[in-house]
Amino acid sequence: MTQTFDLILSGGELVNQDGRGQRDIGVIGDTIAAIGDLSRASAGERIDCRGLTILPGVIDSQVHFREPGPVHKEDLETGSRGAVLGGVTAVFEMPNTNPLTTGEAELADKVSRARNRMHCDFAFWVGGTHENVADIPHLERLPGAAGIKVFMGSSTGSLLVEDDAGVSRILGATRRRAAFHSEDEYRLNERKPLRVTGDPNSHHVWRDVTAALQCTQRLVRIAREQRALIHVLHISTGEEIEFLAAHKDIASAEVTPHHLTLSSDDYAHLGTKLQMNPPVRETHHRDRIWQGVADGVADILGSDHAPHTLEEKAKPYPESPSGMTGVQTLVPVMLDHVAAGRLTLERFVDMSSAGPARLFGIARKGRVAVGYDADFTVVDLKRQETITDQWIASRAGWTPYHGKQVTGWPVGTFVRGAKVMWQGEIVTPSQGAAVRFHAAL
Ligand code: DOR
C-alpha cells in the first residue's frame, strides 16, 4: 500500500541526530511521520529539495520584540516576520516590555497577542523581581512561559535584581533553568564616569570584563548554594567561558552571532549601532568565545535581537540605546561561519536547535524525528547573498551586517508542517503557537 502524507520534502540533505545524508521527510498534519526514501509515497504537496539542506527548525531563545510597549521599534508580528524570513521557527521573547512581563496577566496578554499573529512559534520569559518571588513557582510553569529571566545589571527597561539576597531568593524559588543578564550593577554604577560622550568605543571600557566576570562568579556561587540551574545569556568575555567550563553541571551558556562576528574594531564604522549590553569587545575575546564553541562550553546560540530605531541610535553616546537587530541574520551569519570552516553544520544544529530543546526541556522540537513537530529550516549552503538593511523586516529597519557578503542562506521555514517562508516570501498566514515544555505539560 502506498503511504500518503500531507507534505513530503524530497531529495534534500538532512542534518539530524542520525548524521548527515540524503533523506526524504514525510509530514502528516503538524508532525513528522516518516524519514527515509519516500519516492513511492504520495503527498498533498511534494517539495523538491534537491541541492538544499534541511535542518531541524532553528530556535532563537533570546529576542526582544517590544510588544506591548515601544512598538515603534518592533512588535510581535514584525519581529516574527524577521524570524521566519531568516529561517527561525521559534523564539523566546524577553520580559522588558511595557508593562513588564512579571505576572500571570501580562504573560497571558502576550500569549494571546502572539497566537495566530506571530509567524513562528513562541514562548515568553517572565521577569524575576524582588516583588514576584513568591509567585515564581507558579509563573514559570504557566502555558507559554519559557522560564524566569533576571537582569543583574541594568539594560534597556527597568528590570533589575542587583543584589545577592534577591538573586538567592529567586533561585530558591525556581525549578526550571533561569536565564541571567550577568553584569555587576554596582560596578557599572561606579564606572559610569568612564563613558566618553560621543564615543561608543568607551562602552566596553565602562561595562568592562570584570563587571561581567564578577557577576557570573557571584551568580554561580548563589546557584550552587540554592542547587539551582542557571543559563548565562550572551557571554561577551573569554574569562567567563574559561570560568564556566568548571561549572557545566549547573550553568549553561549562550553566545551570540555579534560577539562571534564583530569586535571593538567595528565601532569605527558602526558607531552606536554596535552598542550592545554586554558590549562587543576586543578580538581576543571573540577568539576565546569561538574556543568555547569548539570545546562545547558554549551551549547555544541566541540572537539577542534588540531593535532600536536609527533615530534613537543617532543620539550621541551614551544617550543612544543599547541593542541591534539579529533574529533575521542569525542563520545566514552563522552559515557563513560554517562556509568559512569555523563551525561545522552539525555543531550549528546542536547550538541552534537540539541545544535549546535540551536546556529548556522543549517538547517535540529540536530534532527531525518521527513524532516531533515538523519544524524545518531549509538552507542553501552554497548560495551567496549580500545582507542589506532593505532585507530586514524589523521595524527598526537596519542591521549591523549591512553590505556583508555571506555564503549560505535560509530558503525555507516550516513551522509545524506549514510552509511559512519559501524563497524569501511569506507564503502562509501567521499561525504561531506557544512552545510546549516538559516541565509544564
Ligand atoms: O543591548 C541590549 N539591549 N542588551 C539588553 O540586555 C537589552 C536589550 C534591549 O532590550 O534593548
**For the segment 12-54, what is each residue's pLDDT rounded down to a tens digit?**
999 999 999 999 999 999 999 999 999 999 999 999 999 999 9
DSSP 393: -
Q: Which atom of ligand 1 is nearest to the CA of 157?
A: 10
Residue range(s) in the chain whose domain bears CATH number 3.20.20.140: 57-360
What would the pLDDT profile of 92-109 be if each residue is shown by its tens digit? 999 999 999 999 999 999
Q: Are strands 13-16 and 19-22 parallel, antiparallel or unpaired?
A: antiparallel
Scanning the structure block, which residue is given the C-alpha cell 549591512?
402
Decide if domain 57-360 falls under CATH 3.30.540.10.
Answer: no
Q: What percent of the chain has pLDDT over 90?
A: 98
Average pLDDT, the chain: 97
pLDDT of 439 reads: 82
Nearest atom in ligand 1 to 322's CA: 1
| Candidate of 61, 62, 63, 64 to mutate for ligand 1, largest count of ligand atoms within 8 Å of Cβ | 64
Give strand pairing partners of 196: 199
Give the Cα separation of 325 and 330 in Å (integer).
10
* pLDDT at site 61: 98
Strand-pair partners of 305: 63
CA distance 439 to 360: 9
Question: What average pLDDT score do residues 149-174 get?
Answer: 96
Distance 322 CA to ligand 1 centre (A): 6
Average pLDDT over residues 393-409: 98
pLDDT of residue 2 exceeding 90:
no
pLDDT of 440: 79
Pocket of ligand 1 (CB under 6 A): 64, 96, 155-156, 181, 276-277, 306, 322-323
Could you tell me the pTM of the whole model? 0.98
CA of 441 to the centre of ligand 1 (A): 31
pLDDT band at 1 (very low <50, low <70, confident <90, very high): low
The answer to whether 304 is a known catalytic residue is yes
Give the mean model confidence (pLDDT) for residues 148-174.
96
Q: How far does residue 306's CA lie from ligand 1's centre (Å)?
A: 5
Q: Could you report the per-residue pLDDT of 286-311, keeping only the tens digit for each? A: 999 999 999 999 999 999 999 999 99
**Ligand 1 atom nearest residue 64's Cα:** 10
DSSP string, 62-128: EE----SS-TTT--HHHHHHHHHHTTEEEEEE-S-SSS-S-SHHHHHHHHHHHTTTSSSEEEEEEEP
CA atoms of 128 and 100, how far apart (whole Å): 10
| Residue entry with cell 497571558 | 108
Q: Looking at the chain, which residues constitute the CATH 2.30.40.10 domain(s)?
A: 4-54+370-384+403-426
What cell numbers appear for 126 in the block? 517572565
Angle at 62 between CA 57 and CA 66, to 5 degrees: 115
Q: Which CATH superfamily is domain 4-54+370-384+403-426 in?
A: Urease, subunit C, domain 1 (2.30.40.10)
The pLDDT value given to residue 157 = 86
CA–centroid distance, residue 212 to ligand 1 (Å): 15
Q: Out of 60, 121, 299, 304, which one is annotated catalytic?
A: 304
Share of the chain above pLDDT 70, in %: 100
| Tens-place pLDDT, residues 243-288 | 999 999 999 999 999 999 999 999 999 999 999 999 999 999 999 9
Ligand 1 atom nearest to CA at 321:
11
414 — pLDDT class (breaks 50, 70, 90): very high
